[in-house]
Structure 1
Amino acid sequence: MILNNILLIVENYGNMIIAGLAMTFFITLSSFILGFLLGLIIAITRVFGPKFIGMIFTTFVELIRGTPMMVQLFFVYYALPYLGIKLSPLLSALIAISLNSAAYQSEYLRVSISSIPSSQIEASYSLGLTKTQTILSIVIPQCIRIAIPALTNEAVYLFKYSSIAYFITVPELMYISMYIGSRTFRYIEIYTLIAIIYIVISIILTEISRRIEQKYSYYVVSYKRRIV
């Protein structure tokens, strides 16, 4: 019976489910890329930048890590209008999730930077490289490869965390499932279907992440010990 109802939902609402899944992928990919770029800037600034700016970024990271993503999402969507900044649901979700991801990715990258032997930095200076050249040619390429296991896990987490966007009516997968449930009253069936989709996609992303780690990452063992 449940299987028949699931098949019926797929037949009648398949296009909506695909559209919701596409929106989920868009939020995931956009948030990951924006979070990575901002996280890289934060990590490098905290290690090599002025102490005062580093303290500001440290405060930002601790603030984001110390509050639930839901609170951050609601603040961006509901509190900013009081300051005259009114954003669309999708843009609010992208900003909130990206900032959250940036805080965590910055920590992954900062720890990766700290695991690079200081002798390499000193050697680059002795060869006449400037700080900027050292960061671009020595630090960034290595820290990204060291952080690959954590970064790929972050991508998988973001795929699941993107579901909170439904709270502000972003038409991603979870929101679509609630809409279909309200139309059909087949909540068990639609949520079972959505759970299966999340599980299958997560398994695929995890396998892709594993292959990326095996091909490109290094210092994996020491990095995991450092994180733990």
Structure 2
Amino acid sequence: MLYITYYFDDLFNAKLAWESLPFVLSGLPMTLLVSIVSMFIGLILGLFLALARTSKNIALNIPARLYISFMRGTPILVFLFILYFGLPVIGIKLTALIAACIGFGLNSAAYIAEINRAALSSVDRGQWEAARALSLTNRETLMGIILPQAARIAVPPLTNVFLDIVKATSLAAVITVPELFQKAQIVAGREYDSMTLYILVALVYWPICAIIEWLQGKLEKRLSQFI
């Protein structure tokens, strides 16, 4: 038992973790900012991509398909490097924060587009016909009838995308965004105890994601009242 206690102390230094917690948490606002802005970009672009993806217009459909395929087929870390380190070669300089928000936003839009496409397709086509019979325009039908129903279907997978973004923001540390993981890396480098800080930052991400999951449940219940 004594051996196990010493082994655990070597693995996780509780005193160091507690003392480092305020500094690590100072990166939380940046983590949330990047996550929320990226998700907002992804939601807006993802909706347009989904509509283009389902369009019969080749000029809209093919570019949307290519965009989704490219973003889903390339690592987000490579894309972050292109935005932050590559674009300055052609004279475009982005701050680390802007590069991270754009990178995660554009990448998540591809996944959100496919979620939206599936959600929109799951709504009975007869509702479009019923709306036409009531002389509703396509825009009125989409905004007032189809999207509210599709939203409830899309909430769980969209929440998963948001959770992935929150966790993926740790990759922004490589382009110097001062978020949670970057703060943990600073302390780990100073104290020569990477394991303690990495376990600590994992324990910080866990409740954040748990809260998001709880909010997902609340949102699903609220949406179910209107459908």
Instruction: Give the TM interval when normalised to the shorter protein.
Output: 0.7 to 0.9
- 1:215 CA drift (Å): 4.0
Per-residue CA distance 1:167-211 (angstroms, 9 max, x = gap):
101111111111011111122211121111122222232233233
Q: Does 2:93 align with 1:118?
A: no
- 1:20 CA drift (Å): 0.7
Which runs of no fewer than 5 residues in structure 2 stay unpaired?
A: 1-8
**Residue number among 143, 153, 162 corresponding to 1:146 in the alignment:** 153
Match of 1:170 in 2: 177
- 1:2 CA drift (Å): 5.7
Match of 1:18 in 2: 25
- Of all paired residues, the percent bearing the same amino acid is 35
Structure 2 CA distance for aligned equivalents of residues 82 and 170 of structure 1: 20
Superposed, 1:1-228 pairs within 5 Å as 1=9, 5-11=13-19, 13-48=20-55, 50-216=57-223
Query: Quick check: 80-89 or 166-175, which moved more?
Result: 80-89
Structure 1 CA distance for aligned equivalents of residues 154 and 66 of structure 2: 22
* Aligned alpha-carbon RMSD (Å): 2.0
- 1:9 CA drift (Å): 4.3
Q: Contact between 1:153 and 1:209, CA under 8 Å: does it hold in 2?
A: no
Structure 1 CA distance for aligned equivalents of residues 167 and 121 of structure 2: 29
> How many pairs are equivalent?
217
Structure 2 CA distance for aligned equivalents of residues 49 and 177 of structure 1: 49
Which consecutive segments of 4 or more residues in structure 1 shift more than 6 A?
Answer: none
- 1:134 CA drift (Å): 1.7
Query: Quick check: 21-30 or 85-94, which moved more?
Result: 21-30
Structure 1 CA distance for aligned equivalents of residues 119 and 23 of structure 2: 41
Match of 1:225 in 2: none
Larger radius of gyration: 2
Name the TM-score, length of structure 2 as normaliser: 0.87
Structure 1 CA distance for aligned equivalents of residues 137 and 211 of structure 2: 42
- 1:88 CA drift (Å): 0.6
Q: Contact between 1:46 and 1:58, CA under 8 Å: does it hold in 2?
A: yes
Name the TM-score, length of structure 1 as normaliser: 0.87
Secondary structure of 1:147's partner? Answer: helix
Q: Contact between 2:170 and 2:181, CA under 8 Å: does it hold in 1?
A: yes
